[in-house]
Chain A
């Protein structure tokens, strides 16, 4: 079996990792309160989903 001849130096490792980038989350705005919401998620601020009250924050904690 083939083996690496040298340990990968910190420089080589870090240079490889320069292309690892986080992608920003795609957000929409809540139709009820206008907060930024991830798609297909209940609004974390007001508990609305698709224009209706899905999760009542006061009742279900």
Chain B
């Protein structure tokens, strides 16, 4: 039974473990990379990542909270001054664990734990990856703001004219299909004029169509298309 074995005690008492993790966290902040056993590294990871997240909000309170864990003023200032601006874009996952084989003597599995943003060799096109969410559902904060307007319009039409919907649904869907085709052409050409015209067409379609979901899909597709166009423009520049 593994009941009530929530985390690895690392063969230490509570105070011993906390003191060790505190020291290791300070060392990792100051050195950016430390070699340790895999078990300790995994425990340290769950100890330090909340602290780094906390450091993104630089207030006296958060500094005091983090200090209560670190107990090292040099590590504290390093974390808030140097590390937190560097990881501000990263949504968690600030550390990397690289397994390096077993230690001579006790055959313990060793690893290197490091701050991801301080290993220049392993960095690549990750910032671009981080921006584009790979989730299919539960759209992020960016999209909800823009999509809410469309849904609101659609909802308003629903309330006002529930009877007319059936006929206009079909019309709206047809419009949607044609628009999609236009989009595909526009993406191929990557012209700047196309998206603007499409935006103008959108409000009419919104008034007609009752289903906000279909509209939202269209919008998302358009956004993606626009993003792709923007990226290509960036590349040209």
Residues of A whose CB lies within 8 Å of any CB of B are 38, 40-42, 44, 49, 52-56, 60
Contact = CB atoms under 8 A, between A and B. Distances in A.
A44 B100 contact: yes
A16 to B, nearest CB: 25
B33 interface: yes
27 contacts: A40-B99, A41-B99, A41-B100, A41-B101, A42-B98, A42-B99, A42-B101, A42-B112, A44-B100, A44-B101, A49-B98, A49-B122, A52-B121, A52-B122, A52-B124, A53-B122, A54-B98, A54-B112, A54-B119, A54-B121, A54-B122, A55-B98, A55-B100, A55-B112, A56-B121, A60-B33, A60-B112
B124 to A, nearest CB: 8
Interface string B100-126: 110000000000100000010110100
Chain B interface mostly = strand
B101 A53 contact: no
Contacts of B124: 52
A40 B100 CA distance: 9
Interface residues of B, number: 11
A55 B100 CA distance: 9
A44 B99 CA distance: 10
Nearest to A41: B99
Given A41-B101, A52-B122, A60-B33, 8 more contacts: A40-B99, A41-B99, A42-B98, A42-B100, A53-B122, A54-B98, A54-B112, A54-B121
Contacts of A41: 99-101
A37 to B, nearest CB: 10
A54 to B, nearest CB: 5
Contacts of A60: 33, 35, 112
A38 B121 contact: no
Nearest to A50: B122
Contacts of A53: 121-122
Interface in B123-153: 124
B122 to A, nearest CB: 5
Contacts of B33: 60
B7 to A, nearest CB: 22
A21 B101 CA distance: 22
Contacts of A54: 98, 112, 119, 121-122
A35 to B, nearest CB: 12
A52 B122 CA distance: 6
A38 B98 contact: no
A39 to B, nearest CB: 10
B41 to A, nearest CB: 13
A13 B112 CA distance: 42
A15 B112 CA distance: 42
Contacts of B112: 42, 54-55, 60
